[in-house]
Structure 1
Amino acid sequence: MRLSIFAAALAAFALTANTADAQTRVTYKSAKSGSSYYQMGVQIAEAMKAAGDISVTIEESQGSVQNVMEAAVRGGDYVFTAPPALVGAARAGKGPFEARPSPKFAEIRALFPIPSLTMHFVARADEGIESLADLEGKTILLGKGSFGADEGAKYMTLFGLDGKVTVADAELSNAVGALKNGQIDAFVTAGSFPAPNVIEAAAGTGVTVISLTDEQVAETGRARLVIPAGTYAGQDSDIVTTSLPVVAYTSTAMDDDTAYALTKTFWEQKAALGEAARWWNGVDAALLDNITGQIHPGALKYYDEAGIAVPDTAR
């Protein structure tokens, strides 16, 4: 009888082990813990778990450059996020990759887009600021050491505002309080929309999120993005702005079945993701047009099955 019980227990253990082994494991590397992009990774992992056969482990990152660098040494279970332009620089051995080029960068392949880094120029509603030109003579907070800060400074130069605005010497984390207290007239932030700090400012102070003209967007060289009306309190019309696209990537080391399953599950779960966090509602198939380089064959199989158009250059 003891032998029978032992045999049954052993069989149950073997079944559990086989089930665990059958589950595909993937590592997803995106951003620092506590950031919105890290949180997005957690949400993707939960979506994959709910769908069934893919187990996603979230790995903290110091940024997109590190993510791309590690693609040269990681295996077929590695998924990471980065702007397409940075992946292009890696393939060309330019920018941060000039000193450490790798033929492995040519094997990077796209899976699906995630929320873009979206530029927000946020002004007090009672200041009458409706355009970038209206910032002249105002105090603006750009922040320090971030994409939004660098991009905001670039736009000040690009649109003739250098020396015509006062740039506040403060961290972006102080922006909402400073705006409310009248210490600044506007601030610049970049992130997936709706951005939490813009939601807070719109609810507590009342703000105008400045819309760029199509000519200004073209001059920046960035991707055009529309923030739909009603995204923020008091926003009655669409906002035209710029963005830095962000994409989930892997490499040719990933097998086609896994890439197919990841991509299929992402799009099938996107509506549920959007219900949990509104920034996913800004992701649609049109963002595939921002992909430079090739899409993984497994992902491409899903797009073709679903009738989703992809750029010819990505095939």
Structure 2
Amino acid sequence: MTLRKTLLTGWFSFLHGEVTAGDVLALRRVQRLLDARGLAHDTAWSPGFRAGGPGLDALVPHDYARLVFVCGPLHGPQVADLHERFPHCVRVAVGVSVIDPADPAVRGFHRVIARDRAGGTPRVDLAAAAPRGTALPVAGVVLTHGQGEYGTRRRHAAVADELTGWLGRQDCGRVELDTRLAAGDWRLCGTSAQFESLVGRLDVVVTDRLHGLVLALRAGVPALAVDPVAGGAKVTAQARACDWPALLTADGLCGRELDRWWRWCLGPGRPAARAARDALSARGDAEDVRLASELADVLG
């Protein structure tokens, strides 16, 4: 019986490798090409990334007639070991970088279709023209682990654990943000305008910080806010002041309620946030008059 199945591998297949977005997109492109030719195939996944596999260790090598290695640098013992484990297969590497042509990892392939190699003409990476997925919401995550002034009422660690665990299960892009500004740290914004520019490009903000809530609404972006202080404190007070409904308490935090307000933020919450932005701007103009009068009483 002639074997016809193809095994797709890459650095995403190794326990001590890594899985990158570019690797997976390159893999999808190769999968699409094989599907178009009616070629049956399996993909070997690292058990550290996808526990359900199939993993390399669980596969029967003689179930496959061909092995394709997709993307990444072609070097090292893990790649070379594929030639030992699948000696009967026709082995092809595609979309790879060849650093040392004499490396056993390279020489073991029957054909290498490189994206770059010394002296060769580079090819565009496979990920560039991979099938496009559905656009997903982008969530900014603004959390605090401080606020020791609340003493025994602090629930910050429990709130952060619940929120981040829940966020990890959402199908969205996640961007960790910090409202702190710094002049010499590239990881932090240096001006408030820089931070506002980030927030304005988000679809939703998930936060347990007062300014995470306020700056999201200022930008017309829905905020899913959680008050990390038992009994409620400044986040609750600010949500009330802004007439913003998407607020959970530390004591009432659970996945079901987070799911409910997540759906609301990505649906009716979008126009509600824009309306809140406009209302806050109009209220600010009126409040400036009152605030100026109050300050004048003190400052003269």
Question: Which is richer in helix?
Answer: 1
Query: Do the structures match in fold with TM over 0.5?
Result: no
| TM-score using structure 2 length | 0.27
TM-score (norm 1): 0.26
Structure showing greater relative contact order (alpha-carbon pairs closer than 8 Å, 6 or more residues apart): 1
